[in-house]
Amino acid sequence: MKIAVVGGGISGLSIAWNLAIRNEGEIHLFEKNWITYGSSTRSGARFRVHFWAEENSRFALESIRRLEKLARRMDWNPIIHRGGYLWLLLHEQHIDRFREANKMWSKLGVQGVFLDPGMVKERYPYINADDVLEAFFGPQDGSLHHDYVCFGYYSLAKKLGVIFHELTPVHNIIIENKKVKQLKTAKGLVDVDVIVLSAGAWTNELLENIGIRLPTEPVRKEMCLTEPYHYFIDPLIIDTGSGAFVGQTLKGEILGSLDYPTTPGLIQLETKFDFVVRWARAITKRIPVLKNARIMRTWAGYYMMSSDCSHIMGRDPEWPEGLYVAYGYSGHGFMMAPLVGELLAENILTGKIPELMKPFLPTRFKENKLIQEKMVIG
């Protein structure tokens, strides 16, 4: 069996490696640029297990466990650190919502802690908590190094014989007798039995070519990074009032972004001065000492948003045989991809649909079984 994975980001890499360890058939990975290009390398490099929807929380929890285990086998250190997420809650309804969700999280074993403003000031003296009613701290959440995770998968997959075609864009999928037959790539036609589309923001173009539409669209997100400073911000701090978040990397840089409206679509990956101004205002109000931090770099990447803000994996039985997708992560790629790879590989090779995967099938949109997830950060 010849399997082609399209997309060399975290999702494609995880799928390719998971297919390879099952040792069936020949696995090819096509990447239009270089490994990690696209949204993986532009990631904010954080992970969390706290989602509104139980399906997502459960999935992320299992997924991060997989990654932690795998980290020991990688030749790159994924720099996983559970520094926690701190949500600053300014409205009663947010607090109610978190209390409600915390019951579900407790059931999963990842309950968080509620902090009153006094405790916030005590634990994080640099935060201006004057208008904060309460805060929610999720200690199970944390950070990783996005490039190193990808490189780790890449080396593992390469060792197992996955054939990488870098700098090779895929233009089209050729279908014959309701079955995938070939991939049309920049280096010519390639015969395939199975195609996994995992090209993030660029997946829709390929799907639309063969008449498949899923409710997803890329949304540009911008980020700011400051010069490195002595470490002092441990958790990722989310200001639910302004929608801004901020964290510090192991290198000492302070990184953050905020909910900034843009036109959906594959717009240029540039950053706006106006965006930086808004982030700077929001974040210096929350953490006044950051006034003195200097912005060193800004960049942009896409969140591939699905209509229910959750990833899409697997296939619709009505699609041509051999076609699978794994995309629409809605900004949660690094937290979900390790498990997506494992479950999808099992699904492709055995035909069985694992229990954890069921809610995320592409058929959920037409069956109207949407996942109730609206918590997207950034």
Partner 1 sequence: MDDPSHHAQSRKGDRVNIFLDDLNLEGYSLEPVAVALYSNGFKVIGRSKKLYRPRGFYSLEPEDRLLLTRIGDEYLNPCEVYCRDGQKIELSLSTPFLVKFFSPFLNGYFQHRRLLRNRFLWRLAVDKIRQFANHPDIRTVKTVKAVKTIQLESDVVIIGGGLAGLTAAYTVSQLGLRTLLIDKSLQLGGRLRYDYLDVPGISMPREQLLENIISRISLLKNLSILTKTVFAGFFEDYPIAYSQEERSLYILKAKAYIIATGQIDIPCVFRNNDLPGIFSGSTVLEMVNMYGVKPGERGLVIGFNQNSLRVAEQLKQLGINVALVDYSEPEKIQYSLSSIGECFGNVEEIEALGKTCVKNVKIVHDGRRDELKADFIVCSAFPSPDVRILNQLNSKMVFIDGVGFVPVHDEYMRLKDNIFIAGGASGTPYSILHMKEGEISALSAAYMLGVKEAESATDEKIREYKEKLREMNVGWKSVVFEFSRGKPIGDHVSNRPPTLFIEKPRKDAFICFCEDITAEDVSRTVYEKGYVLLELVKRSLGVCTGRCQGRLCMVNTALYVSYLSKLDPNRVGLSRARAPTTPIPLYAFIGGGDE
Q: Which stretch binds partner 1 (CB under 8 A): 189-197, 264-272, 318-326, 363-371?
A: 264-272
Which CB atom, from 97 or from 285, has the smaller least distance to partner 1?
285
Q: Please tell me whether residue 230 binds partner 1 under the rule CB under 8 A.
A: yes
Residues 163-222 that bind partner 1 (CB under 8 A): none
Q: Please tell me whether residue 270 binds partner 1 under the rule CB under 8 A.
A: yes
Q: Please tell me whether residue 114 binds partner 1 under the rule CB under 8 A.
A: no
Strands 179-185 and 323-327: unpaired
Q: Please tell me whether residue 272 binds partner 1 under the rule CB under 8 A.
A: yes
Q: Please tell me whether residue 226 binds partner 1 under the rule CB under 8 A.
A: yes
What lies within 8 Å, CB to CB, of 365 at 6+ separation is 214, 215, 307
Cα–Cα distance between 344 and 326 in angstroms, integer? Answer: 8
Closest listed residue to residue 66, CA positions, set 53, 83, 47: 47
Q: E strands, 158-282, where?
A: 163-165, 170-176, 179-185, 188-191, 194-197, 216-228, 236-239, 244-248, 253-258
Binding-site size for partner 1 (CB under 8 A) equals 51
CA 39, 338, 27: angle at the middle one, nearest 5? 85
CA 313, 209, 188: angle at the middle one, nearest 5? 95
Which CB atom, from 23 or from 77, has the smaller least distance to partner 1?
77
Tally the C-alpha atoms within 13 A of residue 90's C-alpha that lie toward its C-beta.
Answer: 11
Residues 144-173 that bind partner 1 (CB under 8 A): 147-148, 151, 155
Q: Please tell me whether residue 293 binds partner 1 under the rule CB under 8 A.
A: yes
What single letter denotes the amino acid at residue 285?
Answer: K
Q: Please tell me whether residue 252 binds partner 1 under the rule CB under 8 A.
A: yes
Which CB atom, from 197 or from 225, has the smaller least distance to partner 1?
225
Q: Please tell me whether residue 273 binds partner 1 under the rule CB under 8 A.
A: yes
Residue 308 phi/psi, 5-degree rounding, is -110, 20
Which CB atom, from 156 or from 293, has the smaller least distance to partner 1?
293
Residues 295-314 that bind partner 1 (CB under 8 A): 295-299
Residue 158 C-beta: closest distance to partner 1, Å = 9
Q: Please tell me whether residue 263 binds partner 1 under the rule CB under 8 A.
A: no
Closest listed residue to residue 2, CA positions, set 199, 185, 191, 198: 191
Residue 280 C-beta: closest distance to partner 1, Å = 4
Neighbours of 12 (CB within 10 A): 30
Q: Classify residue 228 as exposed, middle or buried by CB count within 10 Å of its CB (0-12, 13-18, 19+).
A: middle
Q: Please tell me whether residue 291 binds partner 1 under the rule CB under 8 A.
A: yes
Q: How many residues does the chain have?
A: 378
One of 174, 182, 229, 376 touching partner 1 (CB under 8 A): 229
Residue 3 C-beta: closest distance to partner 1, Å = 23
One of 14, 18, 36, 216 touching partner 1 (CB under 8 A): 36
Q: Which stretch binds partner 1 (CB under 8 A): 9-17, 57-65, 265-273, 358-366?
A: 265-273
Q: Tell me, what DSSP letter sits at residue 329?
A: -
One of 34, 171, 205, 350 touching partner 1 (CB under 8 A): 34
Q: Classify residue 376 as exposed, middle or buried by CB count within 10 Å of its CB (0-12, 13-18, 19+).
A: middle
Residues in contact with partner 1 by CB under 8 A are 34-37, 41, 71-72, 75-77, 79, 81, 126, 147-148, 151, 155, 226-232, 250-252, 268, 270-274, 276-278, 280-281, 283-284, 289-299
